[in-house]
């Protein structure tokens, strides 16, 4: 059996168990710690899937920053969850309907690796035929060299090279607005507001 | 044979991770939980290194080092919160 596959199965089962435990536990501090474990687990899973960049992000944000942010939220609230919360039935119905619609949607997707899939016949040929990386150079021995041997290493590189600018710009917008929200939520309360709260 | 040895090592580390996770879920005091989270982070670092050896990729060791650092920061923040109920 493929060892990576076996590890993936065990790690995913562990992640599900951790998530359920983190929800079920009443001590919110323990819940935060279990969420930290969950972040580390997800990062290991991403690494196991050879998604290095996602793994880096998950480790630093999911396991490190999210834990500290949840803790700073706990400094504003109590560390015990109120017991006896009743279950919200309409929410369960909505979640079940949404989930079944999503699962129904995946059943209509083309088979994995299907060459006739829309993703492969719509814009992919255009990306593959782009002129990126085809820079001719004269090397010292007089022969004409072309970067990357006349083509970019793979399709992802072609897309990224051409469209990286938009990607980065809106990533920056998202991160900036998230930072503004955090500053607004976690800023120290002014003395005036604190007096009003005490009264 | 070589890969089998790595797989056995990974499974043993996973058993240790599961045990520390049980402690984190059950642990009566906060200190049990902090210790369990720290131990789990160490297990994750080792697991990453082993997965790197299975897949024969050296980049995993860099991520393992990052995990160690993040784990340390999270542990310090948790302990500070347990001690003073504040982060600053």
Query: Could you give the number of structural domains in chain B?
Result: 1
Lookup: tokens for A91: 């929410």
- A98 part of a folded domain: no
Asked if the structure places residue A102 within a domain, the reply is no
Q: Which domain holds residue B26?
A: 2-84
Res A30: pLDDT: 86
CATH number of the CATH domain containing B59:
1.10.287
Q: How confident is the model at residue A23 (pLDDT cuts 50, 70, 90)?
A: confident
pLDDT surpasses 90 at A28 = no
3-class DSSP assignment, residue A133 = coil
Q: What percent of chain A has pLDDT over 90?
A: 15
**Across the interface, which of A3, A33, A64 has its CB nearest the CB of B33?**
A33
Residue at a domain's end among A81, A108, A135: A81
Residue A112 counted as domain residue: no
Maximum average pLDDT range among A57-61, A110-114, A119-123: A57-61
Chain B nearest C-alpha distance from A31 (Å): 8
B35 touches chain A (CB under 8 A): no
Do A60 and A125 have their domain in common?
no
- E-assigned strand segments in chain A: 136-138, 144-146
- The answer as to whether A20 is a domain residue is yes
Query: Under 8 Å CB-to-CB from B37, ≥6 apart: which residues?
Result: A33, A36, A37, B24, B71, B74, B75, B78
Q: Give a yes or no: residue A100 inside a domain.
A: no
Same domain membership, residue A122 and residue A61: no
Any CB–CB contact under 8 A between B30 and chain A?
yes
Q: pLDDT-derived band of residue A140, with 50, 70 and 90 as boundaries?
A: low
Q: Does B83 touch chain A (CB under 8 A)?
A: no
Q: Over the stretch A147-179, which tens digit does the pLDDT of each residue have? A: 555 555 666 666 666 677 777 888 889 989 998
Q: Confirm or reject contact between B31 and chain A (CB < 8 A).
A: no
- Domain for residue A165, yes or no? yes
Find the CB nearest B86 among A33, A55, A75: A75
Helix (H) and strand (E) counts in chain A: 9, 2
Q: Residues of chain A whose C-beta is under 8 A from some C-beta in B?
A: 3-4, 6-7, 10-11, 14, 17-18, 21, 25, 29-30, 32-34, 36-37, 40-41, 43-44, 47-48, 50, 52, 55-56, 59-60, 63-64, 67-68, 71-72, 74-75
- Only one residue has tokens 């998530």, namely A19
Question: Complex ipTM, two decimals?
Answer: 0.87
Tell whether B18 lies on the interface with A, counting CB pairs under 8 A: yes
Of A126 and A154, which is predicted with more confidence? Answer: A126
DSSP 8-state symbol, A188: P
Interface test with A, best of B6, B56, B74 (most A CBs within 10 A): B74
Residue A84's pLDDT is: 64
A163 lies in some domain = yes
Domain end call among A62, A81, A100: A81
pLDDT at A54 over 70: yes
Say if residue A124 is in the same domain as residue A74: no
Tally the domains of chain A: 2
**Structural domain that includes position A157:** 118-199
Which is nearest to A27 in space by CA: B80, B22, B24?
B24
Q: What does residue A146 show for φ and ψ, rounded to 5 degrees?
A: -120, 135
Averaged over successive runs of 10 residues, the pLDDT of chain B (88 residues) comes to 75 91 85 89 89 78 83 84 76
Instruction: Report pLDDT for A153.
Output: 61
Last residue of a domain, one of A56, A81, A106: A81
Which residues 6+ apart lie within 8 Å of A23 measured at CB? A31
Exposed/middle/buried for residue A84 (C-beta within 10 Å: 0-12, 13-18, 19+): exposed
Q: Is residue A26 part of a domain?
A: yes
Q: Above pLDDT 70, what percent of chain A?
A: 73
> What confidence score (pLDDT) does residue A98 get?
96
């Amino acid at each position: 059996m493929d060892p990576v596959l076996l590890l993936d199965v065990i790690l995913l089962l562990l992640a599900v168990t951790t998530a359920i435990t983190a929800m079920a536990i009443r001590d919110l501090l323990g819940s935060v710690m279990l969420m930290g474990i969950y972040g580390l687990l997800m990062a290991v899973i991403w690494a196991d899937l050879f998604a290095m960049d996602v793994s880096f992000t998950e480790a630093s944000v999911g396991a490190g920053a999210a834990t500290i942010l949840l803790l700073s939220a706990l400094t504003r609230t109590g560390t015990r969850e109120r017991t006896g919360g009743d279950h919200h039935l309409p929410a369960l119905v909505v979640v079940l309907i949404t989930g079944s619609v999503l699962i129904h949607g995946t059943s209509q997707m083309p088979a994995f690796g299907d060459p006739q899939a829309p993703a492969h016949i719509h814009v992919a040929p255009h990306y593959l035929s782009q002129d990126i990386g085809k820079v001719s150079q004269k090397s010292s021995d007089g022969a004409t060299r072309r970067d990357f041997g006349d083509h970019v290493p793979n399709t992802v590189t072609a897309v990224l090279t051409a469209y990286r600018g938009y990607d980065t710009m809106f990533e920056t917008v998202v991160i900036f607005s998230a930072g503004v929200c955090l500053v607004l939520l976690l800023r120290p309360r002014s003395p005036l507001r604190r007096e009003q709260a005490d009264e | 044979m070589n890969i089998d040895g790595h797989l056995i090592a990974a499974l043993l580390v996973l058993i240790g991770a599961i045990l520390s996770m049980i402690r984190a879920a059950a642990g009566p005091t906060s200190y049990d939980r902090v210790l369990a989270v720290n131990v789990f982070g160490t297990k994750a670092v080792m697991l990453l290194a082993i997965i790197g050896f299975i897949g024969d990729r050296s980049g995993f060791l860099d991520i393992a080092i990052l995990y160690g650092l993040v784990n340390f920061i999270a542990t310090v923040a948790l302990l500070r919160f347990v001690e003073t109920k504040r982060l600053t």
